[in-house]
Amino acid sequence: MLIDHSIKELSNLLKKKEISSVDLVKESYSRIEEFDLKLHSFITIKDKTIALKEAEEKDKNIKNNSSIVYGLPFAVKDAYVTKDLRTTAGSKILNDYYSPYNATVVEKIAKAGAILIGKNNMDNWGHGASNENTNYQIPHNPWDMERITGGSSGGSAVAVSTRMVPFAIGEDTGGSIRNPSSMCDISGLKVTYGRVSRYGAIAYASSLDTVGPMAKSVEDLSYLLEIMAGYDDHDSTSSTQKVENYHKYLEKSIKGKVIGLPKEFFGAGLDPEIKKTVLTAIKIFEKLGAKIQEVSLPHFVYGVSIYYLIALSETSSNLGRYDSFRYGDKRELFSNESIRRILLGTYALSAGYADKLYKKAQKLRTILIQEYETALKTCDVLLGPVTPSLPSKIGEMISDPVKNLLEDLYTGTVNLIGAPALAIPAGFSEENLPIGFQVVGKKFGEGELFQFGYLYQQETDWHKKLPPIIQNVKD
């Protein structure tokens, strides 16, 4: 199975002409044809003939290109507009929408020589933590077909986990990359706000949305961020800060580095198996020479409330354009979850309530930022769980809106403060369900996160496990 190789290994094999881009694209489509009718990780797939023609061109020009992703197939969450493939954001409102341009992140990766083969399934408009809130077929977790994938970038996580593609691009507003990465046993990066351009991303909550890579390993993520990151004239929130050679952090020692454990991350509500797995991961870091220190985030208890007041207020504004006059089909096609979020957000912004709700949430957001900054002054990174619970059975979470919101308990505050966070596979439950943990860093500290994550993956092989649905066809 070629796609089980790392991005660097695939790049080297292509340059030596031991494999071809055509081989990779054929394998990608073969796996999609074999598994996606059951898994539903894609909403739209590019015509195979077109993708193979692109691959043939890449093979002809491989000697003239040094990009590490040159000739590799990839997929993107359907939240990013693409010129040649429809964009739905997981909603039938945009069922027939074709953009006149590509999102910046898609354009950058395509210019680096990668071949886009499809758009991944998602909770519509990013509204969900389970990927059950899609207007298309609900994706299934390849580790247990009765379970959710996590959301809202669940389709992208499934496509990487089953090796349909070497990597995918997700979007994280409150955990939407980290949550499905943890539930599907892959690595995923939530970047510093502004590190990657949001131009061409269909907005959920503009002050929280981040564009990030999802891949088999931390090493792969480091190479992808080097391509994706950087200032964009089309996005005034994108940062001018220099893009680093992130892969150079990979083999640096973490001896003497301090890992902070927020005590609020390990309190009531955390599944015992997840807690045990995360604490076991901490022992690996101690073995590598890191020091462990308990810290406190006193206002973390208000994090979910703050996050959802701000996120829903912003989404009620962003979705105002989908009124069937400017974009999309009838508003009656909004799902119950989206209607619920629009109404709550509109209420929070309404006269007489904006000061009491939205503005108060923004003040508490500032306090949270200060508390995280204080913790990160004494620690190099913070570490904790990604989700409070294991992947639930399909149908359970969508019928319990509160549980859906609480899946963002440990992830949403990181978006509020604008910091980067890395989700890493850490083990499995007694029912063989994936469990991950997240490492949170200082703003623009992605390199240090890769440093921690890479060394952990050199000591463990959780990220190399293959889901049951494809184990029998590994070769």
Annotated catalytic residue, options 91, 99, 153, 176: 176
Return the DSSP state at 264.
G
Contact 298, 331 (CB under 8 A): no
**Residue 159 to residues 29, 168, 180, 241, Cα–Cα distance (Å):** 11, 8, 11, 32
Q: At what angle do helices 303-318 and 358-378 cross, to 10 degrees?
A: 130
Distance CA 455, CA 282 (A): 12
Chain position carrying tokens 């590509």: 102
Distance CA 197, CA 73 (A): 21
Strand, helix or coil at 24? helix
Closest-CA residue to 120 (of 101, 106, 100): 106
Return the DSSP state at 407.
T
Return the DSSP state at 147.
B
Q: Is 77 a known active-site residue?
A: yes
Closest-CA residue to 139 (of 170, 179, 153, 178): 153
Q: Is 187 a known active-site residue?
A: no
CA dihedral 459, 463, 295, 357 (to 10 degrees): 170
Q: Is 119 a known active-site residue?
A: no
Annotated catalytic residue, options 21, 28, 58, 77: 77
Annotated catalytic residue, options 21, 28, 152, 156: 152
Catalytic residue set:
77, 152, 176
